[in-house]
Amino acid sequence: MANIEKITALAPLFGNKAGDRPATVVTDFNKLESEGVNFETYAIKEGDILRFPTLEEMTVMSQPIAKKSTSKVYLVACERERNGRKSPSWFNLNTLLKRDINNDPVQGEFYDAGNMKARLELLAQYGAITSTETRTIQVPEFGDDGKPVKIDVVDDEGNVKTVNKPKDQPVAIITPYVE
């Protein structure tokens, strides 16, 4: 392989200015070992098959959603099959609570179960779930401050109303898996 000489004339980086997104030179490449690691959000994707043990054999973990947060995400150990490859994984139980911008639940039966224990019981009863469909729903758009972005809209009677700005989000629809 023929490498080129060290590059000394660097192209400009977009946003590289004070107060915006200043860029810094990485001199210790060993620091990159913990960056860009493949990360699974533990949600189901179309085509996935997730298999679960019986309720008595399930392992469930709780984890704060952010540092110092009292809100938690609940993860259940599972076997994930994706593209024919099986591997140990986790499934995010909180994804079963997903609602659209109109507050309509996406995973009806699981949402209607009412609590995390009941949702675990459904997963144990099915033994496996899959998704054969991805649906696009509208959800609120959030700003950099973590708050919903607001917009003014005019209703049918000409009144101005402030509402959450919607954005499209694809979501995998869950069904029981039958082998």
Q: Note the pLDDT tens digit of each residue in 112-128.
A: 999 999 999 999 999 99
CB atoms within 10 A of CB 96: 24
Looking at the structure of the chain, the number of domains it has is 1
Report pLDDT digits (tens) over 133-163: 999 999 999 888 888 999 999 999 999 999 9
Q: How far apart are CA 113 and CA 160, in angstroms?
A: 38
DSSP state at residue 86: E
Residue 72, token pair as written in the block:
């938690």
- Report the pLDDT value the prediction gives residue 67, as an integer from 0 to 100: 78
Q: How far apart are CA 105 and CA 147, in angstroms?
A: 21
Query: Could you tell me if residue 47 is inside a domain?
Result: yes
* pTM confidence score: 0.73
Query: Could you tell me if residue 2 is inside a domain?
Result: no
Query: Could you tell me if residue 63 is inside a domain?
Result: yes
Place of tokens 């699981």: 110
CB atoms within 10 A of CB 20: 9
Query: Could you tell me if residue 109 is inside a domain?
Result: yes
Query: Could you tell me if residue 32 is inside a domain?
Result: no
Query: Could you tell me if residue 155 is inside a domain?
Result: no
Query: Can you give the residue range of the structural domain that contains 83?
Result: 40-132
Query: Could you tell me if residue 115 is inside a domain?
Result: yes
- Helix H or strand E segment including 169: strand 166-176
Query: Could you tell me if residue 100 is inside a domain?
Result: yes
